Amino acid sequence: MLTETEYSQKRRGPLETSAEFFTNLMEKYLPDPLVIAMLLTALTMVLAIIFQGSSPLQVVDFWGDGLWGLLAFTMQMTIILLAGYVLAKTPLVDRFLEYLTSQVTSPRVAIIVATLVGGMGSWLNWGFGLVLGGIVAQKLAKNVKGLHYPLAIAAGYSGFAVYGIGLSGSVPLLLATPGNFVEGQIGLIPLTETIFSPYLLVTNLVVMIVLPLFNSLLHPKDPARIKELDPSTLPTFKRAPVVDRKTIANSLNNSRIIGIGFGLIALLFSIRFFVSGGTLDLNTVNFIFLFLGILLFARPAAFIDAVNDGVRIVAGIIIQYPFYAGIMGILTASGLAVAFADGFVAISTAETLPFWSFLSGGILNLLMPSGGGQFAVQGPVMLEAAQALGANNAATALAVQIGDQWTNMVQPFWILPVLAISGLKLRDVMGYLLMILVLLGVIFAGAVLIWGFTA
């Protein structure tokens, strides 16, 4: 007579068996994200020496000179992530999430919900979706008995895979912004040809149907393998209570009139900005989400409490971004990034250039995880090739962004805030993310190939 555990093990399919294999592998050999950033730095140094003929001292100089080269972009990324976290913690959003997660009782349905919420949130704003997926996964893990917590967190994060072709994608927003660094090369490309093109809308739809179902199939059937949420491992955040003492200072700090008033002023400015012909860019998205958070919190003191919590969430980003800026400095100054991109251009045709842009973008993203910064290096090379070959400019440029969002599934940089929320380690979720990477690779590669051959 088989026990329940033995019966569950016999029922395991190839997906669950593979997930267990990769999870065990990651638990044994995967170091922490900061160590990975250091190892990637060393690898890039070696590649620059071997393939570009740079001397060791030159490479060290390239690294040091590039270390602080992305400070402005780092601040933009930090604010967009912080604003997204704050918005996700507003009472209105939090009550909705509590209601949504309280309706779920099945572990597999919970995985589907976490994936969908993370994906839809990331399409609206990548900072919002990135933290929203983690928050929803954690709420589900508190409410749903038998939910495998590491998979729930991985599923919530996997929705981030559509951020680059959503409303806050750095490349499509850049291409639509007057005065951008490739405007003289290809002109402006409106959002109707990128984010709102049929190609990307259908791609998003396919991901949002297939990915949640795929993630749900990864859930362990064997009860012995299920790791439920342990509340004692969660980071604790303190909320400052409303002070009852009647002083002018306390009244101002907790004044809804001030919070709502400035939120409405910002809303009025945003409306006038778009009516007068303004377009979405990173600063505009940051502005909208920041003041929307103030509006929905109403009390300035409550907003500051959420910001203080959020700073802890983004701390890993702040510390590690200089490491990747240093890597970018090596790739750029040594010519390694351009040489790498040129290698893919050499084997491209007008129809296949978007595919090779996607693949090269995904590989380079492992070394420099920054959609905007990476495109600044790789984009001009690919777009010059598009001009020469007669390839579609929008498809070529967005393929770089799609490659970037694809390998973010295993590049440990952007998952840092989610790990901070969840209390888990990278090795707890990476086995699942490796399998998600394979699935998304098939979907995204097919999408850019169709775009390249039919546009």
Q: Give the CA angle between residues 76, 337, 26 to the nearest 5°.
A: 75
Q: Please give the pLDDT value at position 230.
A: 87
Nearest-angstrom CA–CA distance, 203 and 170: 18
Tokens 């895979």 found at: 161
Direct distance between the N- and C-terminal alpha carbons of the chain, in angstroms, rounded to an integer = 60
Greater confidence, 236 or 230?
A: 230
Query: Which sequence spans correspond to the domains of the chain?
Result: 17-226+249-454
CB 169 within 8 A of CB 448: no
Using a cut of 0.85, tell me whether the model's pTM lies above it: yes
168 with 372: CB under 8 angstroms? Answer: no
Taking the C-alpha atoms of residue 345 and residue 342, their distance in angstroms, rounded to an integer, is 5
Q: Contact 210/418 with Cβ under 8 angstroms?
A: no
CA distance 85 to 318: 15
Encoded tokens for 140:
């589900």
* Spatial CA neighbour of 420 closest among 303, 299, 320, 326: 320
Contacts within 8 Å (CB) and 24+ apart, 250-253:
252/300, 253/299, 253/300, 253/301
Share of the chain above pLDDT 70, in %: 94
Lookup result for tokens 């739809």: 205
Could you say which DSSP state residue 225 is in? G
pLDDT recorded at residue 238:
56
Confidence check: pLDDT of 393 > 60: yes
Amino acid letter for position 13: G
Q: Is the pLDDT of residue 325 over 50?
A: yes
- What whole-number distance in Å separates Cα of residue 109 and Cα of residue 252? 44
- The tens digit of pLDDT for each residue in 288-320 reads 889 999 999 999 999 999 998 888 888 888 888
